[in-house]
Amino acid sequence: FQLFLVERAGRRTLHLVGLGGMAVCALLMTIALALKDIVEWIRYISIAATFGFVALFEIGPGPIPWFIVAELFSQGPRPAAMAVAGCSNWTSNFLVGMLFPYAEKLCGSYVFLIFLAFLVIFFVFTFFKVPETKGRTFEDISRGF
Protein backbone atom coordinates (compact mmCIF):
# COMPACT_ATOMS: atom_id res chain seq x y z
CA PHE A 1 0.00 0.00 0.00
CA GLN A 2 2.82 2.41 0.88
CA LEU A 3 4.47 2.04 -2.52
CA PHE A 4 1.20 2.91 -4.30
CA LEU A 5 0.66 5.87 -1.99
CA VAL A 6 4.22 7.12 -2.48
CA GLU A 7 3.93 6.98 -6.26
CA ARG A 8 0.56 8.70 -6.19
CA ALA A 9 1.10 11.47 -3.61
CA GLY A 10 4.85 12.03 -3.81
CA ARG A 11 7.62 11.49 -1.31
CA ARG A 12 8.05 15.06 -0.08
CA THR A 13 4.30 15.60 0.35
CA LEU A 14 3.88 12.42 2.40
CA HIS A 15 6.89 13.28 4.51
CA LEU A 16 5.51 16.76 5.23
CA VAL A 17 2.04 15.38 6.02
CA GLY A 18 3.57 12.81 8.36
CA LEU A 19 5.80 15.31 10.15
CA GLY A 20 3.07 17.94 10.46
CA GLY A 21 0.50 15.43 11.66
CA MET A 22 2.92 13.96 14.17
CA ALA A 23 3.63 17.46 15.49
CA VAL A 24 -0.11 18.05 16.01
CA CYS A 25 -0.43 14.67 17.75
CA ALA A 26 2.56 15.45 20.00
CA LEU A 27 0.90 18.73 20.97
CA LEU A 28 -2.40 16.95 21.66
CA MET A 29 -0.62 14.34 23.79
CA THR A 30 1.04 17.12 25.78
CA ILE A 31 -2.27 18.92 26.35
CA ALA A 32 -4.02 15.68 27.27
CA LEU A 33 -1.33 14.68 29.75
CA ALA A 34 -1.27 18.15 31.31
CA LEU A 35 -5.06 18.14 31.78
CA LYS A 36 -5.57 14.47 32.69
CA ASP A 37 -6.33 15.23 36.34
CA ILE A 38 -8.72 18.07 35.50
CA VAL A 39 -10.72 16.74 32.54
CA GLU A 40 -11.70 13.09 32.79
CA TRP A 41 -12.52 12.45 29.11
CA ILE A 42 -9.21 13.92 27.88
CA ARG A 43 -7.56 10.50 28.17
CA TYR A 44 -9.42 9.50 24.99
CA ILE A 45 -7.74 12.39 23.18
CA SER A 46 -4.41 11.06 24.41
CA ILE A 47 -5.20 7.58 23.08
CA ALA A 48 -6.34 8.95 19.71
CA ALA A 49 -3.25 11.18 19.49
CA THR A 50 -0.99 8.21 20.21
CA PHE A 51 -2.63 6.13 17.47
CA GLY A 52 -2.46 9.12 15.13
CA PHE A 53 1.22 9.66 15.93
CA VAL A 54 2.08 6.07 15.03
CA ALA A 55 -0.11 6.06 11.89
CA LEU A 56 1.38 9.32 10.64
CA PHE A 57 4.89 8.01 11.31
CA GLU A 58 4.08 5.07 9.02
CA ILE A 59 2.87 7.47 6.32
CA GLY A 60 5.84 9.83 6.41
CA PRO A 61 9.00 9.69 8.52
CA GLY A 62 9.02 5.89 8.76
CA PRO A 63 9.35 4.83 5.11
CA ILE A 64 9.84 8.03 3.11
CA PRO A 65 13.48 8.78 4.06
CA TRP A 66 14.47 5.38 2.67
CA PHE A 67 12.88 6.24 -0.68
CA ILE A 68 14.54 9.65 -0.73
CA VAL A 69 18.02 8.39 0.21
CA ALA A 70 17.84 5.71 -2.49
CA GLU A 71 16.80 8.29 -5.10
CA LEU A 72 19.27 11.06 -4.16
CA PHE A 73 22.42 8.98 -4.69
CA SER A 74 23.79 7.31 -7.80
CA GLN A 75 24.72 3.61 -7.87
CA GLY A 76 28.29 4.19 -6.62
CA PRO A 77 27.70 6.00 -3.32
CA ARG A 78 24.19 4.62 -2.71
CA PRO A 79 25.25 1.63 -0.53
CA ALA A 80 27.37 3.87 1.70
CA ALA A 81 24.57 6.44 1.95
CA MET A 82 22.07 3.73 2.87
CA ALA A 83 24.50 2.39 5.50
CA VAL A 84 24.94 5.84 7.05
CA ALA A 85 21.17 6.41 6.97
CA GLY A 86 20.54 3.03 8.60
CA CYS A 87 23.15 3.63 11.28
CA SER A 88 21.71 7.10 11.99
CA ASN A 89 18.20 5.67 12.15
CA TRP A 90 19.02 2.88 14.58
CA THR A 91 21.28 5.09 16.71
CA SER A 92 18.46 7.63 17.02
CA ASN A 93 15.96 4.88 17.88
CA PHE A 94 18.31 3.55 20.54
CA LEU A 95 18.85 7.00 22.06
CA VAL A 96 15.13 7.77 22.16
CA GLY A 97 14.42 4.41 23.78
CA MET A 98 17.16 4.80 26.37
CA LEU A 99 16.69 8.49 27.17
CA PHE A 100 12.89 8.76 27.14
CA PRO A 101 12.38 7.53 30.72
CA TYR A 102 14.82 10.16 32.00
CA ALA A 103 13.25 12.89 29.87
CA GLU A 104 9.81 11.88 31.15
CA LYS A 105 10.98 12.12 34.75
CA LEU A 106 12.52 15.52 34.06
CA CYS A 107 9.69 17.02 31.95
CA GLY A 108 6.65 15.14 33.21
CA SER A 109 3.55 15.66 31.10
CA TYR A 110 5.46 18.08 28.85
CA VAL A 111 7.89 15.44 27.58
CA PHE A 112 6.33 15.37 24.12
CA LEU A 113 7.25 19.02 23.58
CA ILE A 114 10.78 17.73 22.91
CA PHE A 115 9.40 15.63 20.05
CA LEU A 116 7.26 18.55 18.89
CA ALA A 117 10.35 20.77 18.63
CA PHE A 118 12.26 18.20 16.58
CA LEU A 119 9.24 17.54 14.35
CA VAL A 120 8.88 21.26 13.60
CA ILE A 121 12.61 21.51 12.80
CA PHE A 122 12.41 18.48 10.48
CA PHE A 123 9.25 19.87 8.85
CA VAL A 124 10.93 23.21 8.10
CA PHE A 125 14.08 21.47 6.82
CA THR A 126 12.05 19.17 4.57
CA PHE A 127 9.93 22.05 3.30
CA PHE A 128 12.91 24.19 2.31
CA LYS A 129 15.68 21.69 1.49
CA VAL A 130 14.28 18.31 0.40
CA PRO A 131 13.31 18.08 -3.28
CA GLU A 132 10.33 16.12 -4.58
CA THR A 133 11.72 13.06 -6.37
CA LYS A 134 8.43 11.68 -7.69
CA GLY A 135 8.64 11.05 -11.43
CA ARG A 136 12.15 12.50 -11.75
CA THR A 137 15.33 10.82 -12.93
CA PHE A 138 18.51 10.78 -10.88
CA GLU A 139 20.14 13.20 -13.31
CA ASP A 140 17.23 15.62 -12.98
CA ILE A 141 17.34 15.45 -9.18
CA SER A 142 21.14 15.85 -9.03
CA ARG A 143 20.99 19.00 -11.18
CA GLY A 144 19.06 20.62 -8.33
CA PHE A 145 22.09 20.29 -6.07
Largest CA distance in the chain: 58
Residue-level pLDDT at 127: 97
- DSSP state letters, 121-141: HHHHHHHHHPPP-TT--HHHH
Sequence-ordered list of residues with C-beta below 8 angstroms from that of 6, at least 6 positions apart, any chain:
14, 63, 64, 67, 134
d(CA 19, CA 25): 10
For 21-25, 106-110, 133-137, which range has the lowest pLDDT when averaged over its residues? 133-137
- Band (pLDDT 50/70/90 cuts) for residue 15 is very high
Closest CA to 21 of 47, 54, 45, 44: 54
Domain boundaries, the chain: 2-143
Is 3.40.50.300 the CATH number for 2-143? no
State residue 52's pLDDT score: 98
Q: What is the pLDDT of residues 47-85, one digit of tens each?
A: 999 999 999 999 999 999 988 888 888 889 999 999 999
pLDDT score for 19:
98
Q: What was the pLDDT predicted at 5?
A: 82
